[in-house]
């Protein structure tokens, strides 16, 4: 599977969504369901500083490049620098391992378009909600109760999120949202995490031959669901089933050097004088 460009234009706001989502007071009860590093929940102040500095860094870079904002790639370059600084700062506030875990979480749960993972969600929902006429591979049958627990309570999850997040703003209602935009982001992140957990469970219950049969079944089910062809390619589905998708992630922001180290105050928004 080929991952999308590492820092495409138009993704900066999604990185900020990922940074600020755990900081929303109403999101705290959902922390475990999101799959975030536990260390963040023990001390959110560090993440808060990183997120605020990321906004300041973005604003500064946008001001510096405002005469060339229409040039293709400028927005992506701003995002790259903003997140490189943010991840290095996050590593200083917690640890390099926590920063790497968060960056991976942000890409897979909020930032990037992970089409085959969405396809797996629909495939697994069909499995638990319908009586299959075709033979279902044994690992899926063994994992059925777990999948039901993770993905079978979508209506309940949505109601819990609505109760916690409150009403959408007037502007959000005007564009057809029935919950705050941040609530929709949180719901999708939880659904992605639940799907990953289901695939991990199936993987743990399968031999290599059984994984192949599960992937063939999934590709057939995706075709029956009439999902777009690019979402039901066997290679893409298999990468999430066997876990190899992690090897396709782009270069980590932590492996990209920064021009200068963030100051001891934690403010990475400007160079030293």
Nearby residues of 253 by Cβ (< 8 Å), 6 or more positions away? 80, 83, 84, 86, 87, 88, 103
Phi-psi region of 10 (alpha: psi -120 to 50; beta: other; left: phi over 0): left
Q: What is the pLDDT of residue 70?
A: 74
Residue-range domain boundaries for the chain? 12-112+250-255, 115-248
For tokens 């997040």, what's the residue? Answer: 165
Q: What is the pLDDT of residue 113?
A: 86
Consecutive 10-residue runs of the chain (273 residues): their mean pLDDT? Answer: 60 96 96 95 94 95 83 88 95 97 96 93 93 80 95 93 95 94 97 98 95 95 92 92 91 84 44 33
Long-range pairs, 182-188, Cβ under 8 A, ≥24: 182/17, 182/20, 182/21, 182/24, 182/27, 185/17, 185/21, 185/110, 186/21, 186/24, 186/27, 186/30, 186/34, 186/161, 187/157, 187/158, 187/161, 188/109, 188/110
Phi-psi region of 92 (alpha: psi -120 to 50; beta: other; left: phi over 0): alpha
Q: What is the pLDDT of residue 26?
A: 96
243: nearest Cα among 209, 188, 210, 197: 197
Q: How is the chain split among helix, strand and coil, in percent rounded to 5? A: 70, 0, 30
Q: What is the pLDDT of residue 6?
A: 67
């Amino acid at each position: 599977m080929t991952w999308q460009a590492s820092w495409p234009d138009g993704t900066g706001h999604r990185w900020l969504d990922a940074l600020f989502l755990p900081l929303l007071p109403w999101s705290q009860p959902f922390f475990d369901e999101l799959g975030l590093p536990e260390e963040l929940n023990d001390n959110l102040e560090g993440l808060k500083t990183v997120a605020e500095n990321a906004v300041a860094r973005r604003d500064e870079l946008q001001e510096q490049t405002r005469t060339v904002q229409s040039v293709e790639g400028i927005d992506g370059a701003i995002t790259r620098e903003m997140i490189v600084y943010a991840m290095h700062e996050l590593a200083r506030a917690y640890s390099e391992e926590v920063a790497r875990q968060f960056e991976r979480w942000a890409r897979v749960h909020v930032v990037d378009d992970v089409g085959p993972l969405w396809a797996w969600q629909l495939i697994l929902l069909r499995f638990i909600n319908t009586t299959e006429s075709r033979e279902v591979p044994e690992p899926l049958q063994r994992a059925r109760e777990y999948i039901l627990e993770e993905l079978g309570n979508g209506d309940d999850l949505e109601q819990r999120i609505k109760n916690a997040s409150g009403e959408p703003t007037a502007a959000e209602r005007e564009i057809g949202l029935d919950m705050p935009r941040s609530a929709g982001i949180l719901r999708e992140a939880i659904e992605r995490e639940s799907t990953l957990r289901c695939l991990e469970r199936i993987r743990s219950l399968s031999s290599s031959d059984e994984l192949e049969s599960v992937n063939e079944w999934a590709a057939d089910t995706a075709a029956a669901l009439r999902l777009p062809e690019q979402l039901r390619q066997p290679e893409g589905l298999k990468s999430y089933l066997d876990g190899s998708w992690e090897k396709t992630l782009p270069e980590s922001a932590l492996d990209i050097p920064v021009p200068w180290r963030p100051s001891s105050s934690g403010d990475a928004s400007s160079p030293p004088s």
